[in-house]
């Protein structure tokens, strides 16, 4: 009887110890977040990546009362900021925004990245997709894509296309266009969209593809011509611009996008909670309208959908990069 009683007591003690060890973990999971969350944007303030992230994060804080601190960490084609997020503790207190360059970097810097673009991260949400718009300077004697392709073949080496940098979604979309159409166009990389746009308006650059929010104000003021949007449907916020197929070109999809990631080993329930709050924010009427004015199609996906999308983008751009022989600067 006595030994049975002692065994019961020791079992109760063991259970109590096990419970006391488990409780802090449970409490920690229950109490997330109990301190400010850091959100890394690997680009400078003011661009589409920064704007879209700030809009969503602001809305999440309004919905939840959480404190989220945004840190812009530009550098090395977004690698600097992504490395900081990859090396952060997997505790749900560090998130990261990435765009098309993250998918391209997987191939451009294969074997040289200080993290794995897929395995180092847990996908949270695909925020939105911004189809790119192809524009030309006013002096180029073409009024649609069909005429542009014919003009480049009749004037080999005379038509140059700019981009915001090697491996940017806009650069790779134009390389894909070149591959599919055999258009004779030459790439001129710039450091950002602004200097390329200046040369396009000035007439020394013939073609430039970028986001509707960057290009449409100049199209509407008559400084440049928009030929097509790289999408199978017209873009909200730029409905006057035909799709590339409507403009006599091949049906090519080319977009930049905004996607949220966190450290790979972050607890699933934390990832799912942030994903749900992001989706709620992205699909609020207020943000849908703001995104539309920027030419962004709102998505607000699940973590699994975001992961699948990223995998597909890596494969798509890997083919373009290898076919074009694109090398990182």
Full set of structural domains in the chain with CATH: 36-129+256-324 (3.40.190.150), 133-229 (3.40.190.10)
Give the pLDDT confidence score for residue 217 in this predicted structure. 94
5's CB contacts (< 8 A; 6+ apart) are none
Would you write out the chain's pLDDT as a tens digit for each of its 329 residues?
555 555 655 655 555 555 455 554 554 456 899 999 999 999 989 888 999 999 999 999 999 999 999 999 998 889 999 999 999 999 999 999 999 999 999 999 999 999 999 999 999 999 999 999 999 999 999 999 999 999 999 999 999 999 988 888 999 999 999 999 999 999 999 988 899 999 999 999 999 999 998 999 999 999 999 999 999 999 988 999 999 999 999 999 999 999 999 999 999 999 999 999 999 999 999 999 999 988 999 999 999 999 999 999 999 999 999 999 998 87
Q: In whole angstroms, how far apart are CA 4 and each of 1, 15, 42?
A: 5, 16, 63
By the 8 A CB rule, do 106 and 326 touch? no
Where do runs of H (alpha helix) occur along the chain? Answer: 2-31, 48-64, 79-86, 100-108, 145-154, 169-181, 193-202, 212-220, 268-282, 285-293, 303-324
Give the pLDDT confidence score for residue 181 in this predicted structure. 96
Paired tokens of 27? 């409490």
The residues pairing with 297 across neighbouring beta strands, listed in sequence order, are 129
300's CB contacts (< 8 A; 6+ apart) are 125, 126, 127, 128, 278, 279, 280, 281, 282, 283
Give the pLDDT confidence score for residue 306 in this predicted structure. 98
Give the pLDDT confidence score for residue 249 in this predicted structure. 95
Q: Is the pTM of this model over 0.75?
A: yes
Q: Please, what's the largest Cα pairwise distance for the chain? A: 102
* Distance in angstroms (rounded) separating the CA atoms of residues 222 and 138: 8
Give the pLDDT confidence score for residue 1 in this predicted structure. 55
Question: To which residue do tokens 């977004």 refer?
Answer: 78
Smallest CA-to-CA distance from 137 within 220, 211, 212, 226 is with 226
Sign of torsion, CA 153 155 157 159? negative
Sign of torsion, CA 272 101 253 221? positive
Give the pLDDT confidence score for residue 27 in this predicted structure. 47
Q: In whole angstroms, how far apart are CA 149 and each of 16, 153, 240?
A: 76, 6, 21
Beta strands 94-98 and 37-41: pairing type?
Answer: parallel
By the 8 A CB rule, do 232 and 245 touch? yes
Secondary structure (DSSP) of 146-208: HHHHHHHHHSTT-EEEEESSTT-HHHHHHHHHHHHH---EEEEE-SSHHHHHHHHHHTS--EE
Give the pLDDT confidence score for residue 236 in this predicted structure. 84
Q: Which three-class secondary structure state does DSSP give residue 20? A: helix
Paired tokens of 262? 């966190």
Give Cα 304 distance to the centre of its chain.
16
Paired tokens of 199? 């040369």
* Distance in angstroms (rounded) separating the CA atoms of residues 272 and 258: 18
Using alpha carbons only, give the angle 80, 81, 85 rounded to the nearest 5 degrees.
120
Paired tokens of 99? 């765009």
């Amino acid at each position: 009887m006595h030994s049975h009683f002692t065994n019961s007591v020791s079992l109760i003690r063991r259970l109590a110890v096990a419970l006391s060890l488990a409780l802090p973990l449970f409490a920690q999971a229950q109490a997330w977040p109990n301190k400010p969350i850091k959100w890394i944007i690997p680009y400078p303030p003011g661009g589409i990546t920064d704007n879209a992230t700030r809009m969503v994060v602001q809305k999440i804080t309004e919905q939840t009362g959480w404190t989220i601190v945004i840190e812009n960490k530009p550098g090395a084609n977004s690698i600097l900021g992504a490395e900081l997020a990859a090396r952060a503790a997997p505790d749900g207190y560090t998130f990261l925004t990435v765009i098309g360059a993250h998918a391209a970097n997987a191939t451009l810097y294969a074997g040289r990245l200080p993290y794995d673009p897929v395995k180092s991260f847990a996908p949270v949400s695909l925020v939105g997709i911004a189809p790119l718009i192809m524009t030309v300077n006013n002096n180029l004697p073409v009024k649609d894509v069909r005429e542009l392709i014919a003009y480049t073949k009749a004037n080999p080496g005379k038509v140059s296309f700019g981009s915001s940098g090697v491996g940017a979604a806009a650069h790779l979309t134009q390389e894909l266009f070149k591959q599919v159409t055999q258009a004779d166009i030459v790439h001129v990389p710039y450091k950002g969209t602004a200097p390329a746009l200046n040369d396009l308006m000035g007439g020394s650059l013939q073609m430039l593809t970028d986001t509707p929010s960057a290009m449409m104000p100049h199209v509407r003021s008559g400084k440049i011509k928009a030929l097509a949007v790289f999408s199978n449907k017209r873009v909200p916020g730029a409905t006057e611009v035909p799709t590339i197929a409507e403009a006599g070109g091949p049906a090519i999809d080319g977009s930049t996008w905004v996607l949220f990631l966190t450290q790979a080993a972050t607890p699933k329930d934390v990832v799912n909670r942030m994903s749900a709050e992001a989706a709620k924010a992205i699909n609020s009427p207020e943000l849908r309208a703001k995104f539309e004015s920027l030419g962004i199609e709102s998505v607000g996906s699940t973590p699994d959908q975001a992961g699948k999308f990223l995998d597909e983008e890596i494969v798509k751009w890997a083919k373009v990069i290898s076919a074009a022989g694109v090398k990182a600067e």
